Chain A
Amino acid sequence: MMPVATTFFFYFLSIIAVVSAIVVITRKSPVHSALALITTLLSLAGLYLMLYAPFVAAVQIVLYAGGIMVLFLFVIMLVNLEKAQLEERFNKQWQVALIAVLTLGALLIFIFEKGRSVFPQTVTNFPENTNTQVIGLLLYRDYLMPFELASLLLLVAIVGAVVMAKKRV
């Protein structure tokens, strides 16, 4: 069987991701921005699929595109749009932005140069058919303690949210 993960799909998905990410910050309406962000997240899920990680792709869709973004839209719909559009959208902080962009760019170039020696050139045989099972075994057997600690952290966050939202506990 021919591999589906061709270069064409990589560029296709990357272009969609980058273009819609630009749309996120240029659109006036917050709903349009949120929808463009969903497009970015979906194309990222496609990129995960190309890395032979179907589980991560599915979780990306379920959690980010389907869960968090729905809550985003839920809140945005309740905002008075006319008022939101009048407000200043860009803060004039170009010095800070320039430093941040230069740092990130330098970091990316550094990784690109250094990566040749650090990361393996050849692709190992990914267990695509048992991807989910392997992740499950890793999470619940090899890294059980960190996993449970992370879930405890999330529980604390949930309790915190309830305490903050409720006036009288």
Chain B
Amino acid sequence: MRPFLDYLHSSVTPGEYGSYLWAVIYILIIFAVASVAVMLMTWLERKILAHMQVRLGPMRVGPHGLLQPIADALKLLTKEDILPDEADKVVFWFAPVWVMMIAFLNYVVLPFGRTHAVTDMNIGILFVLGVSSLSVLGVIMAGWSSNSHYPLMGALRSSAQMVSYEVAMGLAIVSAVLMTSLNSTGTGTLSMIGIVEAQKAAGRWYIFSMFPLGLIAFLIFAIAMIAETNRAPFDLPEAESELVAGFHTEYSGFRWSLFFLAEYAAMIGISSVAVTLWLGGYLRPFPNLLSGHSWDLAFSLFPGLIFAGMALMCLIGAARMPKIPQMKVQTIGLWLFGGVIALIAVVLFLPGVRERVQDIFWFAAKVAAFMYLYIWYRGTFPRYRFDQLMKLGWKVLLPVSLAVLILTALVGIRQDLSTVLMGVLR
């Protein structure tokens, strides 16, 4: 029991600490939070898209349709589970399981804070690349086993797209990893926490270092990751107007909801990778510009302040509710909701909690910005045609990412290079 509780005072991840129990606890927490985040994402996506198109979106279930995801989940669970007669039964059954497993496997190495990761692997970012390359298999399995034309076409498109964009993505990642090697020892790191700590030591996020090389590499990754997760404007594998629903046309009910869950989990996972590599991961904004003890304190109060503000909004709203019998339940609910949020805010202000939670807060805030971008793209851009998609992947992103990689390496060794050149000139 004692070593179990001692972990709370350590400053390493459960994997490094060697505690299986804590690792399991972290996995359960991450799984639960990611699932809830996915449910909220589905609601947010419908809501934000609706507001972009000057509609209201879901309004009926709960206040402003907040309980819509639960209603959706219940509907999906009670739907008939259809297994096509001519389908390949085993592979058809296994495909959604595989897609789901792979989508959540990424979360093993994601650092939500210096101590808040399941484990820190020496091969962290390579693990992420490997997992994302395995996710193609699930799509292929689903498309092939359905034994139908649309899913097969969707799977073919998807595998071609994911394989081509993985190349540019990998090269962009390599240029970020190269930046970690620019220290006194001269060796970089592939571990996710190591990459964030290298940004901390460098005093800047990699998106800003070697301007504009870091920015370009980040943009390449940001484009490739949308293609990897099959989202608009690269959602050709499930283009409704051409392929009904792409590779999951034949799936229904619970199996289909697994694909849905996996898609959003993969979106959150890959955004977390982008945040870790270029946006400083769990570091707070302005690590070197606004440094010092008082700024540290000010930034650590931020999460509590945000929750306090939300609680205030809820309580003011509850006080201004019309005093009529029909609104009584809503008013009481809003008071309770505001009270719970105020309680969370108070907990977040406690010094011990503040220190450990602010990492997670900054990480989550950055990932949330990416999630909003995903919805924004979907509301803004028209879908690419397949040949345009391939042209963009192979003729634009790949050469640019190669150029960025070479330039990053050259800038990294500029001092050695200049001494050599001076020697030659002399």
- Chain B, Cβ-Cβ closest to A133: B187
Q: How far is the CA of A57 from the CA of B130 in the complex (A)?
A: 10
Give the residues in chain B near A62, CB-CB below 8 Å.
126, 129-130, 133
Q: Given the interface contacts A74-B156, A74-B159, does A132 sit within 8 Å of B133 by beta carbon?
A: no
Give the residues in chain B near A55, CB-CB below 8 Å.
122-123, 126
| A131 and B122 within 8 A (CB) | yes
Contacting B at CB under 8 A, from A49-86, are 54-55, 57-59, 61-62, 65-67, 69-71, 73-74, 77-78
- Segment at the interface with A among B137-145, B207-215, B319-327, B373-381: B137-145
Q: Given the interface contacts A1-B18, A58-B123, A133-B187, does A74 sit within 8 Å of B160 by beta carbon?
A: yes
B368 at the interface (CB under 8 A from A): no
How many of chain B's residues have a CB under 8 angstroms from any CB in A? 30
Q: Mark B70-108, 1 if CB is under 8 A from A, else 0.
A: 000000000000000000100100000000000000000
Q: Mark B135-166, 1 if CB is under 8 A from A, else 0.
A: 01100110110000000100110011001000
| A69 and B123 within 8 A (CB) | no
Give the residues in chain A near B155, CB-CB below 8 Å.
77
Q: Mark A111-138, 1 if CB is under 8 A from B, else 0.
A: 0000000000000000011111100110
B127 at the interface (CB under 8 A from A): yes
B121 at the interface (CB under 8 A from A): yes
| A65 and B134 within 8 A (CB) | yes
Across the interface, A70 reaches (CB within 8 A) one of B88, B123, B140, B144, namely B140
Q: How far is the CA of A157 from the CA of B223 in the complex (A)?
A: 29
Task: Give the number of residue pairs across the A-B interface with Cβ within 8 Å.
Answer: 83
How many of chain A's residues have a CB under 8 angstroms from any CB in B? 32
B190 at the interface (CB under 8 A from A): yes
Q: Given the interface contacts A54-B123, A70-B159, does A61 sit within 8 Å of B144 by beta carbon?
A: no
Give the residues in chain A near B160, CB-CB below 8 Å.
74
| A61 and B134 within 8 A (CB) | yes
A21 at the interface (CB under 8 A from B): no
Give the residues in chain A near B156, CB-CB below 8 Å.
74, 77-78
A31 at the interface (CB under 8 A from B): yes
- Chain B, Cβ-Cβ closest to A54: B123
Q: How far is the CA of A77 from the CA of B153 in the complex (A)?
A: 10
A24 at the interface (CB under 8 A from B): no
Q: How far is the CA of A1 from the CA of B119 in the complex (A)?
A: 14
A47 at the interface (CB under 8 A from B): no
A38 at the interface (CB under 8 A from B): yes
A2 at the interface (CB under 8 A from B): yes
| A61 and B130 within 8 A (CB) | yes
Q: How far is the CA of A62 from the CA of B155 in the complex (A)?
A: 20
| A58 and B130 within 8 A (CB) | yes
Tell me the smallest distance from the CB of B55 to a CB of chain A, in Å: 40
Give the residues in chain B near A129, CB-CB below 8 Å.
122
Q: Given the interface contacts A67-B133, A77-B152, does A128 sit within 8 Å of B140 by beta carbon?
A: no
Q: Given the interface contacts A31-B91, A54-B122, A58-B126, does A67 sit within 8 Å of B163 by beta carbon?
A: yes
Q: How far is the CA of A80 from the CA of B127 in the complex (A)?
A: 35
- Chain B, Cβ-Cβ closest to A31: B144
Q: How far is the CA of A57 from the CA of B190 in the complex (A)?
A: 14
Q: How far is the CA of A74 from the CA of B163 in the complex (A)?
A: 11
A44 at the interface (CB under 8 A from B): no
| A132 and B122 within 8 A (CB) | yes
Across the interface, A132 reaches (CB within 8 A) one of B129, B140, B141, B190, namely B190
Besides A29-B88, A62-B129, A129-B122, 5 more A-B contacts (Cβ < 8 Å) are A1-B18, A31-B144, A61-B134, A66-B136, A77-B143
Chain B interface (Cβ within 8 Å of chain A)?
18, 88, 91, 121-123, 126-127, 129-134, 136-137, 140-141, 143-144, 152, 155-156, 159-160, 163, 187-190
Chain A interface (Cβ within 8 Å of chain B)?
1-2, 29, 31-32, 35, 38, 54-55, 57-59, 61-62, 65-67, 69-71, 73-74, 77-78, 128-133, 136-137
Closest 10 CB pairs of A and B: A66-B133, A1-B18, A61-B130, A58-B126, A62-B130, A58-B123, A54-B123, A133-B187, A73-B140, A70-B136
